[in-house]
Structure 1
Amino acid sequence: MPSSSHLPAPAPRRFLDNPLLLLLATGSMLGLTFPLGKLSGTAGIAPVVWAFLISAGSGLVLSVVALLTRQAVPLNLRFGRYYLLAGIISYAIPNVLVFMVIPKLGAGLTSIMFTFSPIITLAIVVALRMQAVNGFGLAGIACGFVGAVLIVLSKGQFGAGALPAGSAAVQPLWLGVAFLIPMALACGNVYRTRDWPGQASGLALAVGTNLSSAAFLFVAAQALGHGFDWGPALARPDLVLAQVLASSAMFAVFFRLQKVGGPVYLSQMGYVAASIGLGAGYLFLGETYGLLTWAGALVVVLGVALSTLAQRRKPA
């Protein structure tokens, strides 16, 4: 038997076991939702239609992946309840709110709303005694929150391009609606962990929750008499395809991040998404931001770094 000094070095951690890489991948794909959502609004695609296309498209794409990789998607009452509740709370409600708010606040400011979900998630998790948080974790959450507050306070420094044409300032009503986004996201983060069904794979849960979200959106729209106007979406297949691909890539690793990192760490994908949303809005959509906004973004990055350090110090 070879001595320990001659044993091969441990293999590097795989991507699917690395919380930081999962966080960056998930947050980056989520961040693309904001500029694409703004473009969809400009194209005249209704928020409920766009939210439906995200859930239905992602669910179908991931269903094909599950079929090709022979991963079963369980169908019973236990899983059905999880699919339905997680899909409504985590995707349907936040997505409709996001695409309602973007035309009023712009892609950049809407993306900042996601940065409030970690502090709300943390409060719920601590209240329910679901997870212990060490000093680095608390510092990371607090740092990210301060960065988010700086960005929101800087809304008065946003250039004209940051808001829709004709909007001189952020309307308090729409800002209030926007704050419902992180509350729904936080509730979804906690529920998905609290009610996680056994040994289900992340891919199976992504398929079930997305298809349930799509079904809920379709039924709700019909019940409320809104219907779906497919014309604008059919006129922009490029936008639809880009959004479905981005969302499918995100959901492919979303549940794995939740399993590896837990609800609080996962919630910080909002920090990454906000940075991507700000950058994309600046580079591609002509949105401009003041120095305080970019300073806040740097503080957010520091918060993610501290939280990642806390994640690595968790007991095995």
Structure 2
Amino acid sequence: MKSIWNSAFGLLLVTGIFFGMALPFGKVAMQAGVPALLWAFVIAFGSGVVLSAVLLINGGRPTLSPRKLRYYLIAAAISFAYPNYLMFAAVPHLGAGYTSIMVTLSPVFTLVFSIAFGVRRPNSLGVVGIAVGFVGALMVAATRGEVGQPAEIAWVLAGLFIPVCLAAGNVYRTIDWPADAGPIELAAGCNLAAAVMLLVGLLFSAGPSSFATLSEVPLLPAAQVAASSAMFAFYFRLQVVGGPVYLSQIGYVGAAIGLGAGIVLLGERYLPLTWLGALLIAVGVAMTTAAQKKKG
């Protein structure tokens, strides 16, 4: 465990695996009638409580300052609350595998934002990688989801907006990371802040009675919270060890898990153009990743 905690690649692999589990879990929950806002709340609240307990058990003493409060609110909104809601709202329309492919664009958008905010200077390889990734995204978007079940354009655009949110969060958390806080504390605080935001939205849109839908999937919430809690602990550690662009590659690992589960366990099928677009996205991600190892 100690070697994984200090290895960027090990952290990336573990975080991506746990991240990828969320999409097939979410699709099953949505098909059972659980609202997307409720499922996103379950993840945020459950993970926040578990991580807070871990922090306290290990002798941590969380503190709340105006700086940390700002960090929690902004990071929670753009990294967790909104993109998670979008993912679970879109997955019944797009499929777990298709949504996973969209998430793989996160490294490309992260590089774009890193360049824009001066976190990373551009170079030719990075620019070409961004272009290749976008071409792949356009190809995937054109297929509009599973074979024989084309989604509305609005849902395709929602799927494309997920990696934009994730990328913005990756860069923001690096820029504004509080110097006096560790990864577990920040993960707990951001998840609890996201839970509050999601709960407010849920109560106004679906009402308290929506919680009854969780009885349709009695074991799934516990499995999702366990996976998400582990994912967030490694996620914030990866932010420190690997940096924002390397962190964004969890979408690539998660896509392999989500796509595999969608096809094998949920019976999803995709057009050849979707696979070709996914391949181009993979090439674009590989190029933008390689660009981080070179001076701009």
TM range (shorter): 0.7 to 0.9
- Is 1:286 aligned to residue 286 of structure 2? no
Q: Tell me the CA shift for residue 77 of structure 1.
A: 2.0
CA contact (8 A) 1:20 1:308 kept: no
Corresponding residue of 1:209:
190
1:139–1:76 distance in 2 versus 1, CA, 3 Å: same
Corresponding residue of 2:207:
227
Q: Tell me the CA shift for residue 240 of structure 1.
A: 0.6
Which one of 98, 101, 109 corresponds to residue 109 of structure 1?
Answer: 98
Corresponding residue of 1:254:
235
Q: Tell me the CA shift for residue 139 of structure 1.
A: 5.8
Corresponding residue of 1:65:
54
Corresponding residue of 1:10:
none
Q: For structure 2, which runs of at least 5 residues remain unmatched after alignment? A: none
1:248–1:154 distance in 2 versus 1, CA, 3 Å: same
Alignment of 1:125-164 (within 5 A): 125-132=114-121, 144-155=133-144, 158-160=146-148
Corresponding residue of 2:80:
91
Corresponding residue of 2:107:
118
In structure 1, what is the Cα distance between the partners aligned to 2:293 and 2:110?
20
TM-score by length of structure 1 reads 0.83
In structure 2, what is the Cα distance between the partners aligned to 1:123 and 1:159?
32
Q: For structure 1, which runs of at least 5 residues remain unmatched after alignment? A: 1-12, 161-167
Q: Tell me the CA shift for residue 207 of structure 1.
A: 0.4
Corresponding residue of 1:178:
159
CA contact (8 A) 1:111 1:277 kept: yes
Q: Tell me the CA shift for residue 142 of structure 1.
A: 5.2
In structure 2, what is the Cα distance between the partners aligned to 1:17 and 1:133?
28
Structure 2 letter corresponding to 1:128: F
Corresponding residue of 2:170:
189
In structure 2, what is the Cα distance between the partners aligned to 1:66 and 1:134?
40
- Between the aligned residues of both structures, percent identity stands at 47
Q: If you compute each CA radius of gyration, which structure gives the higher value, 1 or 2?
A: 1
CA contact (8 A) 2:105 2:281 kept: no
In structure 1, what is the Cα distance between the partners aligned to 2:216 and 2:104?
33
Q: Deviations over 1:123-181 (max 9, x none)?
A: 2211111123566655655555554444334447x434xxxxxxx42211222232222
In structure 1, what is the Cα distance between the partners aligned to 2:152 and 2:226?
33
In structure 2, what is the Cα distance between the partners aligned to 1:312 and 1:130?
14
Corresponding residue of 2:69:
80
Moved over 6 A (4+): none
Structure 1 letter corresponding to 2:180: Q
Corresponding residue of 1:3:
none
CA contact (8 A) 1:148 1:296 kept: yes
- Is 1:245 aligned to residue 226 of structure 2? yes
Alignment of 1:16-31 (within 5 A): 16-31=5-20
TM-score by length of structure 2 reads 0.88
Corresponding residue of 1:6:
none
In structure 2, what is the Cα distance between the partners aligned to 1:244 and 1:209?
15
Q: Tell me the CA shift for residue 297 of structure 1.
A: 3.9
